[in-house]
Structure 1
Amino acid sequence: MAVVGIDFGTMNAIMGQAERGGVKILLNENSKRLNANMVSFQGNQRFLGEAAAAISRTNYKNTVKCFKRFIGRKWGEPEVMKEIENIPGLKFVPLPDGFVGVEVAYEDSVQTLTIQQCAAMMLCKLSQICASQEHNNGLAMADIVVSVPAWFTHTQRVAMQDACSIAGIRCLRLMNDTTATALEYGIWRSAQKLFDNSKISRVLFIDLGYSSYQVSVVDYVTGKLMVKATTYDRCLGGRDFDMEIAKYVAAEFYKKHKIDPMASPKSKMKLLDACEKAKKTLSPHGVLEANFYVECLAEDIDFGMKITLDQFEELVSPLLDRLVPPIEEALRITSTNSKITPDTPSPHDLSAVEIIGGGTRVASVKRKIAETLGIAQGASPPNWGLQTTLNADESTAKGCALAAAMLSPRFKVKEYAVVDAVPHSVVLSWDKPQMSISNAVPEDDEEDKDDTSNNDSATLFIRNEATPMLRRITFRRTDVFAIRANYAVEESSLLPPGDDRAIGTFVLNIPEAIGKDSPEKIRKIRVHVNHTLSGTVKVESAEVALLPEETAPESEAADSKDAMDTTPIAPDSEQAQDNAANDSKEPTAASETSPDKDTEMKDAPPALSKESGEADAASSKKKPKYKRKPITVETTIIGKMDQRALDAAIETEARMANADRVITETNDMRNDLEAFIYRMRDAILDDLAPFIPESDKSSLDKSLQDAEMWLYEGDGFDTTKSAYQNYLQTLGSKFAGAEARKKEDNMRPELVASFQKKIEQFKQWANSIDENYAHIPDTEKTKVRDAAETQSSWLLDMLDKQGSLAPSEDPVLKCADLQARITETEKLANPIINTPKPKPAPAPAADTSTAESKPSENEVPAGEKSDGNPKPEDKDVDMPDASEGEQVPDADMPDAPPPS
């Protein structure tokens, strides 16, 4: 199963598959690396990806695109209504829950779809592309990481997760575009030891995509990246540059012809495509003008003109000015100097500025960014001091693929920490209790850190704080109460206009949790809230701590109002480990920022006296052990589909996918029938003609004509797969005899020659006098000779009979019979030919009694050498022990001359 990262863009989707040694970008059926991110409906069929792009102009009323601009957005938001204007023809509708939906004509009816369903369809298409890769052997995506813009709200993020659930794909996390890019930038450089553990390298990433603009400041050390801040402009992208050119061209066309090409959806699409080409022509440095030409722009009128670089830069000047505020805001938040010092940067200096996204290819965009950072002076085009070391289109997908490999159990990756930033501050609020509860005995070593009796809210996660983060919030309640999560009011300007800031509600049923225990035993309520890897807020668990029986308070209850304690969970605590395991293999940000123990929210109390300290130490030995019970949390997340709606969407997607499969298989069968008709029409006049009797040629030709009429003008124009299959089988049976005769005629000569060769070989062997086969009896050789002669006679007889037949007659000498005869002969002859030689008889044992009593003439008597002298006895000789300190003198050689 494949582990894939997906850059789910506004107009295109890119897939990167994690493999050993790197990431591979997957190609679609058209061998393109970029997949058109749209779906189109026509008749009973869906067209996804490239197939949808091919018919999007003619079928624009039923083509859904720009999913990212609508998913998780509510009807009536100003940005949503403006986006609807950019997609003419398609009918958008408000859904019962207030979100945006679309109406399309499908299966002879008008169907209303959610944007999540449309996005899920595209994810299914991407999974099919992944399965079609040769190296994947038909296996679809198993684990994925999907990129989303950093400005996505909580509602948009959970809607994207729902789309993955509908598609049946396990999404390990959602990852911000700039964070994925930062991972692709840093992980390889960290492996090459280009970062330092003691010095931070700060990099500014600028991403100008098709529809949005994002800026991110990231710090690097060896083995780790930390996102410090991300700023953005949701509505600034490359398409806005196209639109400025289109407005200018439309005005010129109107002056000349008094027709507005922007009023017609088809004319507008033609115009925008031509403007995009003109922008690309003017983007490289040194190009001064572009020719603009469109055929039949409006009412069959062709239009052409020239656009100079000065005109283009003047048109997009307001857009270039909008590039500046997000950069300045990111530098201000992180206290970063725009000075670039790649060699020895300080913590507040930039070591590099990396630009990505298709929009950054425009020369004036690069120059404006460089001027904003103050690096244009002294720098030269085309990059003006900016880095372009990453692939502008594919870096996000590759970063997501790396993140997927890090999180998936299917890969073992060298540890690399990714600490993201909280995109928006999250505030929790609740209603104050309506009744008081009894005093409680403090737990071991635990005091209430933040007793805010009058508080009814707390900011739990702060913007640009490190995430993922698990925090604990403590209450004293006895009733059922709800915790509401919202974005901070002071950051409303960062949210889309019209967004109500709501995230969700978490209802805690305390009476159900304590059961038969008395409410007076309640010590405290603990709720663990997690800011997840995907940027969503989730209540991981809640529990109630109850006093044991012997320490239950008496009736003298004091008014104890709602007490709240917000505390980061220590990374080595049991609760943090349990929740971290649910989110990621990556280290959580809590490990970077959380102390090992609970930290006080207010000023610490004065130190206790020695006497009181001793008293406390003595009493601590008798502190009771509290009983903990889990609390059921009923969660309602804004924008998240309930289980019933999710199941219905999954069923709808499965039904549509099955319908697509049936249509595809039906079309394939129809194509097979069509191909057979055309192939046979040529064959009966060419290579198949000799094998068709003259009496059958006219009837076969008529059968082909009837089949063609049935296919194009009769019932076969639109019928079922089984109907095409049955018709093909019936038609094929009429030509089966001629095709079989042709096949026999083509194969027969080779088999006859092979058989004749075998027969001659067997005859030669049977008549051979080779010594290697002398051990084989003549009777066995006769068997082989007789078999070969019998087969030779049969073959000659059958050849004579076959030679008297016309090619159009059924053969009497069939290839199957020839093959059977060859096999039969080999089965008889080969065992005889391969008969092994008999083993030689063992030699008789020699009589050695006489030889032992009489020595040979040359034998030397024992005790004498061959020269007649006595032979010295062989004895073990003890060598001197050199370790005892005695030096052994060198022995004189017998033939050596005496020393001088």
Structure 2
Amino acid sequence: MPLPPDTIIGIDLGTTNSCGAIAHGDGQVKLIPYKGGDYTIPSIYAIDDKGHELIGHEAKRQWQLNPRNTLYATKRLIGRAPKDDVVESVQKSVQYRVHAGTQNDVALDCHGRTFHVPEISAKILAKIRDVASDHLGFKVQRAVVTVPAYFTDRQRQAVKEAGTLIDLEVVRIINEPTAAALAYGIGKRLDERVLVYDLGGGTFDVSIIEIRERVFEVKATGGDIFLGGIDFDNAIIEHVLDDFRKKHGIDLSSDPVAMQRIKDLAERTKIDLSARGEAPFSIPFITMTPQGQPLNMDVKFDRKLLEALTQHLVDRTLKIMGAVMVDAGITAKDIDEVMLVGGQTRMPIIQDRLTRFFGKPPSKGVHPDEAVAIGAALYGWSLQESSDLKIQLLDVIPMAIGIEQAGGTMHVVFPRNAAIPNAKTVAATSSVDGQKELVVRIFQGDHPETARNELLGEFTFSGVRPCRAGEVRLEIMFEVNIEGILTMSAKDLDTGRKMQTTVRVASA
């Protein structure tokens, strides 16, 4: 059956790999295939030495030879301020240059050009859209795009912006664990409480979701957008660099081509060790001695060593999971199923630790790499007029949203795990005589001091009646929509006049 041209596809925009899917008929889902039969595409963008743009598999193939001009794991930087310590730690682990952008954001250098992070996300989205359009026979113009549950408002806005840059209407943004739960639960007439443990290439999320037939209610969520498979790779990389330094007195970390060869083998070794007990870590002719003698890298690697090097990362995931369970007010015995999402969950120790924690093995009910795109496609299909699938999503915000009070403390408007959509009003007044503007600074995060939270923006309400301090009675309305995105408006209670709001993303 031909699909209508207003069809909404589902896109999982991942840190290391992305994936597209389409739902049709009575809920059949098809993953969108690429040349060569792959269903996932590396989230990588490059410019080669001839100035050609490369995206996905083509970009990955030339990565070793062109590490300075190959941009990867950029999702970790989307919607972030440049002063962020995250940006510093990313710069240490990537070969391309990361620096402050012109819009209180992060910019990336590639082959003499500078890009804002949403531009790179837009190029990956465009590739998925174009492959889907070729496959379906019409130009895809609408999509549901997934993001980590632990993304802030600013990061969600940046993903929307990426869609706008390529004229792709992002009809809805939904959280990755929620999408995976949709893939698991639609059509099964379930009444279950599931815990989604989502450890992908760059981010970690845990969500506890109650599924009642077609109602999916998130009870609590938590995560770390700086914890994923890349960090497991980096633990291997640090170990082999250290071993080489001790053996030969040479530091390879400043050699971009050697580092890229090590990075590729680290990822392959990690994957091999999920199926085998040991794997050789050998790279011939990695560098030369000062006398011109070629040197090889040779390290013995087994599963026990990998588990020892990454135990702190696995422990971090379980600590976050425990905190989310406390937030939801439940214990291990209250969970009906544990769902594993994300490629890193294939690591046997992760499955063993979860089995011990819950007293039963995790569910094999969804494909860890494809569930998020499938769930996004099902949700996209439910939003179409021609669909008879009606899904009710009741999600939450991952961390508190509030405004700065005098003294720099946070006045919480929406607490962590507040249900969305949601709306709240806050009373405000003028603080000095004759004031004509009211400036409100909005933050997101769970720390009582705003300086430790993420600044979402500065909202200026102009047109305030000039009165004596404290005489103006204003009401500010905060609304968070189903996508977790914030909007604001203000009203003068004495005159009934609504004030215009100008939103300025504050500079650092």
Q: Verify same fold: TM over 0.5.
A: yes
CA contact (8 A) 2:100 2:106 kept: yes
Partner of 1:174: 173
Match status 1:293 vs 2:268 = no
- Which one-letter code corresponds to 1:394 in the other structure? E
Deviations 1:869-899 (A, max 9, x none): xxxxxxxxxxxxxxxxxxxxxxxxxxxxxxx
- What is the alpha-carbon distance in structure 1 between the residues aligned to residue 244 and residue 453 of structure 2? 39
Partner of 2:317: 323
Shift of 1:50: 1.9
Shift of 1:101: 0.7
Partner of 2:420: 467
- Which one-letter code corresponds to 1:321 in the other structure? D
Query: Per residue, is there more helix in 1 or in 2?
Result: 1
- What is the alpha-carbon distance in structure 1 between the residues aligned to residue 252 and residue 72 of structure 2? 22
- Alpha carbons of structure 1 residues 194 and 489: separation in structure 2 relative to 1, 3 Å: closer
- Which one-letter code corresponds to 2:84 in the other structure? E
- What is the alpha-carbon distance in structure 2 between the residues aligned to residue 504 and residue 182 of structure 1? 35
Matches within 5 A, 1:348-497: 349-373=334-358, 375=359, 385-409=361-385, 411-428=386-403, 459-473=412-426, 480-482=436-438, 484-487=440-443, 490-491=446-447
Residue 20 of structure 2: which of 11, 15, 20 is its match?
15
- Alpha carbons of structure 1 residues 501 and 95: separation in structure 2 relative to 1, 3 Å: closer
Match status 1:221 vs 2:212 = yes
Match status 1:194 vs 2:196 = no
Shift of 1:224: 0.8
Larger gyration radius, structure 1 or structure 2: 1
- SS state at 2:78 partner: coil
Residue 26 of structure 1: which of 7, 17, 32 is its match?
32
Deviations 1:644-677 (A, max 9, x none): xxxxxxxxxxxxxxxxxxxxxxxxxxxxxxxxxx
Deviations 1:679-725 (A, max 9, x none): xxxxxxxxxxxxxxxxxxxxxxxxxxxxxxxxxxxxxxxxxxxxxxx
- Alpha carbons of structure 1 residues 306 and 144: separation in structure 2 relative to 1, 3 Å: same
- What is the alpha-carbon distance in structure 2 between the residues aligned to residue 509 and residue 355 of structure 1? 52
Shift of 1:457: 8.3
- Alpha carbons of structure 1 residues 479 and 263: separation in structure 2 relative to 1, 3 Å: closer
Matches within 5 A, 1:63-212: 63-88=70-95, 90-105=96-111, 110-133=112-135, 136-137=136-137, 139-189=138-188, 193-195=189-191, 201-212=192-203
Match status 1:503 vs 2:457 = yes
- Alpha carbons of structure 1 residues 407 and 508: separation in structure 2 relative to 1, 3 Å: farther
Deviations 1:308-362 (A, max 9, x none): 33223222222232232112101111111112xxxxxxxxx11111112111111
What TM-score do you get using the length of structure 1 for normalisation? 0.51
Shift of 1:418: 0.4
Shift of 1:429: 5.5
Partner of 2:244: 253
- Alpha carbons of structure 1 residues 333 and 58: separation in structure 2 relative to 1, 3 Å: same
Partner of 1:313: 307
- What is the alpha-carbon distance in structure 1 between the residues aligned to residue 472 and residue 436 of structure 2? 16
Partner of 1:532: 481
- Alpha carbons of structure 1 residues 336 and 476: separation in structure 2 relative to 1, 3 Å: same
Partner of 2:291: none
- Which one-letter code corresponds to 1:389 in the other structure? G
- SS state at 1:316 partner: helix
- Alpha carbons of structure 1 residues 290 and 67: separation in structure 2 relative to 1, 3 Å: same
- Which one-letter code corresponds to 1:26 in the other structure? I
- SS state at 1:29 partner: coil
Matches within 5 A, 1:732-743: none
- What is the alpha-carbon distance in structure 2 between the residues aligned to residue 236 and residue 263 of structure 1? 24
Matches within 5 A, 1:429-828: 459-473=412-426, 480-482=436-438, 484-487=440-443, 490-491=446-447, 500-510=454-464, 526-539=475-488, 541-544=489-492, 629-638=497-506
- SS state at 2:94 partner: coil
- What is the alpha-carbon distance in structure 1 between the residues aligned to residue 410 and residue 261 of structure 2? 53
- Which one-letter code corresponds to 1:392 in the other structure? P
Shift of 1:68: 0.9
Shift of 1:475: 5.7
CA contact (8 A) 2:142 2:171 kept: yes
After superposing the two structures, state which structure 1 stretch, 256-265 or 69-78, moved more.
Answer: 256-265
- What is the alpha-carbon distance in structure 2 between the residues aligned to residue 316 and residue 629 of structure 1? 58
- Which one-letter code corresponds to 2:369 in the other structure? D
Identical-pair percentage:
23
- What is the alpha-carbon distance in structure 2 between the residues aligned to residue 255 and residue 460 of structure 1? 54
CA contact (8 A) 1:123 1:164 kept: yes
What TM-score do you get using the length of structure 2 for normalisation? 0.87
- Alpha carbons of structure 1 residues 111 and 335: separation in structure 2 relative to 1, 3 Å: same
- What is the alpha-carbon distance in structure 2 between the residues aligned to residue 142 and residue 538 of structure 1? 25
- What is the alpha-carbon distance in structure 2 between the residues aligned to residue 212 and residue 160 of structure 1? 15
- Alpha carbons of structure 1 residues 58 and 489: separation in structure 2 relative to 1, 3 Å: closer
- What is the alpha-carbon distance in structure 2 between the residues aligned to residue 245 and residue 218 of structure 1? 34
- What is the alpha-carbon distance in structure 2 between the residues aligned to residue 250 and residue 457 of structure 1? 43
CA contact (8 A) 2:455 2:506 kept: no
- Which one-letter code corresponds to 1:466 in the other structure? A
- What is the alpha-carbon distance in structure 2 between the residues aligned to residue 492 and residue 147 of structure 1? 29
- SS state at 2:332 partner: strand
> Greater relative contact order: 1 or 2 (C-alpha under 8 angstroms, separation 6 or more)?
2
CA contact (8 A) 2:76 2:225 kept: no
Query: Per residue, is there more strand in 1 or in 2?
Result: 2
- What is the alpha-carbon distance in structure 2 between the residues aligned to residue 282 and residue 73 of structure 1? 34
- What is the alpha-carbon distance in structure 1 between the residues aligned to residue 175 and residue 9 of structure 2? 16
Partner of 1:268: 259
After superposing the two structures, state which structure 1 stretch, 522-531 or 421-430, moved more.
Answer: 522-531
- What is the alpha-carbon distance in structure 1 between the residues aligned to residue 346 and residue 52 of structure 2? 38
- SS state at 1:412 partner: coil
Shift of 1:363: 0.7
CA contact (8 A) 1:430 1:484 kept: no
CA contact (8 A) 2:461 2:499 kept: no
Shift of 1:500: 4.6
Structure 2: tracts of 5 or more residues without a match = 289-293
- Alpha carbons of structure 1 residues 258 and 473: separation in structure 2 relative to 1, 3 Å: closer
Shift of 1:256: 4.1
- Alpha carbons of structure 1 residues 406 and 483: separation in structure 2 relative to 1, 3 Å: farther
CA contact (8 A) 1:545 1:629 kept: yes
- SS state at 1:188 partner: coil
Match status 1:4 vs 2:9 = yes
CA contact (8 A) 2:227 2:313 kept: yes
